């Protein structure tokens, strides 16, 4: 269950007490238990995950990417996908499907079924009305849900959140916070169309000062936010290791580390200075008036793997992973920052239902 929140975590705890077989708790469910498939479901929703009116192709690519990130966290190879799409008749369905099928082909994922419908209407809209109040804006209302099935690599194991042990090193598969910075820039008016990012007035004029100029960093952040890259190869490598836990970072490093530790019955200590940051991230955060450490710890939608390995094992350099801390006994998370004493790290992060 990606992109969750305090209200949702409470609801999930309530649910787990009512479900016989606790399949919920990893990034995907293994079916039948011990069986050949890992199954997960994730949605992309207008006004929640992206600004209404986003290019249909970008929605499709993001939908595939966030789902495959869950499979990556299981060490799975993608196999089949099922789509439920609720969009207005004038939505560019063919552009959406072309991009969806291309993304599926890139990852050897077969689109095997689906369900198409009109978008929802609220109490103002009679059944059959499009969107809200019949206004044209309602035509941008879109809910796309993908269910994906993945298979285990031969000789591999399923990665789990519950595999962390004291002494394990904690690793991050890529930079943190950049996606959240991109989300802030989009809220400030940045847009993505025809493969290009346009920055809001005042930003577009800032000429990139070399590769790490703020405007260039901003464009990369928007791109990273909209089109994350699922770390499938890293997940499959981790699935070939004898020990370790993994989760994909959808709701923030702190919150997802908290979940991984809760499933493993351990605590952790991480060092703020070790969090991998994108080039130009500090300048970008200054320009946004945002706290870079907060974004890196709690921003969410990073879609990189957060994982643990025994201290003697290191992931190959080609994956660009960074060690950010250590698994400890106990149940609490500690953050060391700015040379000060370790302080307890709250599992704050994205919150839907709160």
Cα distance between residue 204 and residue 219, in whole Å: 10
Residue from 68, 71, 77, 121 in contact with a second copy (CB under 8 A): 121
Q: How far is the CB of 205 from a second copy (least distance, A)?
A: 24
Pick the binder of a second copy from 133, 195, 211, 343 (CB under 8 A): 133
Instruction: Identify the residue among 73, 77, 149, 172 touching a second copy (CB under 8 A).
Output: 149
14 binds a second copy (CB under 8 A): yes
Distance from C-alpha of 347 to C-alpha of 39, rounded to nearest angstrom: 26
Return all residues near 317 (Cβ < 8 A) that are at least 6 apart.
Answer: none
Least distance (Å) between residue 236 CB and a second copy: 19
Name which of 30 and 284 has its Cβ closer to a second copy. 30
Could you check whether the bond before residue 270 is cis, i.e. omega within 30 degrees of 0?
Answer: no
3-state secondary structure of 293: helix
- With CB under 8 A as the contact rule, the residue among 92, 95, 111, 310 that binds a second copy is 111
- Binding of a second copy by 24 (CB under 8 A): yes
Residue 131: Cβ-neighbour burial (10 angstroms; 0-12, 13-18, 19+): buried
Residue 325 in the binding site for a second copy (CB under 8 A): no
Contact 89, 118 (CB under 8 A): yes
Taking the least distance from each CB to a second copy, the nearer of 88 and 262 is 88
Between 40 and 241, name the residue whose CB sits nearer to a second copy.
Answer: 40
The binder of a second copy chosen from 34, 127, 155, 340 (CB under 8 A)? 127
Residue in 57, 141, 297, 304 binding a second copy, rule: CB under 8 A: 141
| Selected binder of a second copy within 106, 135, 286, 314 (CB under 8 A) | 135
Which listed residue (106, 113, 193, 316) binds a second copy by CB under 8 A?
113
Interface of this chain with a second copy, residues 41 to 100, rule: CB under 8 A: 41-43, 45-53, 79-80, 82-84, 86, 89, 93-94, 97-98
- C-alpha span between 66 and 2 (Å, rounded): 9
Distance separating alpha carbons of residues 249 and 299, to the nearest angstrom: 10
| Cα distance between residue 145 and residue 141, in whole Å | 14
Site for a second copy in 157-186 (CB under 8 A): 186
Phi and psi dihedrals of 311, rounded to 5? -55, -25
Neighbours of 225 (CB within 10 A): 26
Binding of residue 346 to a second copy (CB under 8 A): no
CB 112 within 8 A of CB 9: no
For the chain, state the CA radius of gyration: 20
Which residue's CB is nearer to a second copy, number 15 or number 311?
15
CB of 66 to a second copy, least distance (A): 10
Site for a second copy in 183-222 (CB under 8 A): 186-187
CB 198 within 8 A of CB 321: no
Q: Does 290 bind a second copy (CB under 8 A)?
A: no
In sequence order, the β-bridge partners of residue 84 are 115, 145
Rounded-to-integer distance, Cα 254 and Cα 259, Å:
9
Report in angstroms how near the CB of residue 189 gets to a second copy at its nearest.
11
């Amino acid at each position: 269950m990606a992109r969750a929140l305090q209200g949702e975590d409470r609801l999930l705890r309530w649910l787990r007490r009512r479900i016989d077989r606790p399949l919920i708790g990893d990034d995907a469910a293994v079916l039948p238990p011990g069986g050949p498939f890992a199954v997960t479901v994730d949605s992309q929703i207008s006004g929640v995950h992206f600004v209404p009116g986003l290019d249909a192709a970008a929605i499709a690519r993001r939908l595939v990417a966030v789902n495959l990130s869950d499979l990556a966290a299981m060490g799975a190879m993608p196999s089949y996908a099922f789509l439920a799409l609720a969009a207005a008749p004038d939505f560019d369905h063919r552009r959406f499907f072309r991009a969806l099928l291309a993304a599926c082909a890139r990852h050897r994922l077969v689109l095997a079924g689906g369900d198409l419908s009109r978008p929802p209407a609220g109490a103002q809209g009679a059944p059959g009305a499009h969107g809200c109040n019949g206004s044209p804006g309602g035509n941008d209302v879109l809910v796309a849900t993908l269910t994906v099935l993945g298979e285990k690599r031969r000789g591999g194991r399923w990665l789990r959140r519950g595999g962390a042990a004291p002494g394990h090193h904690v690793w991050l598969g890529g930079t943190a916070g950049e996606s959240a910075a991109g989300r802030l820039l989009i809220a400030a008016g940045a847009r993505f169309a025809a493969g290009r990012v346009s920055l809001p007035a005042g930003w577009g004029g800032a000429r990139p000062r070399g590769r790490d100029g703020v405007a260039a960093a901003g464009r990369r952040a928007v791109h990273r936010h909209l089109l994350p890259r699922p770390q499938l190869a890293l997940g499959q490598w981790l699935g070939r290791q004898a020990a370790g836990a993994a989760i994909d970072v959808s709701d923030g490093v702190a919150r997802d580390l908290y979940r991984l530790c809760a499933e493993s019955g351990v605590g952790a200590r991480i060092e703020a200075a070790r969090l991998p940051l994108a080039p130009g991230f500090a300048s970008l955060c200054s320009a946004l008036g945002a706290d870079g450490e907060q974004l890196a710890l709690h921003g969410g939608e990073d879609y990189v793997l957060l994982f643990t390995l025994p201290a003697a094992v290191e992931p190959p350099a080609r994956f660009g992973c960074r060690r950010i801390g250590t698994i400890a006994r106990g149940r609490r998370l500690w953050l060391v920052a700015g040379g000060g004493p370790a302080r307890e790290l709250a599992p704050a992060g994205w919150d839907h239902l709160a």
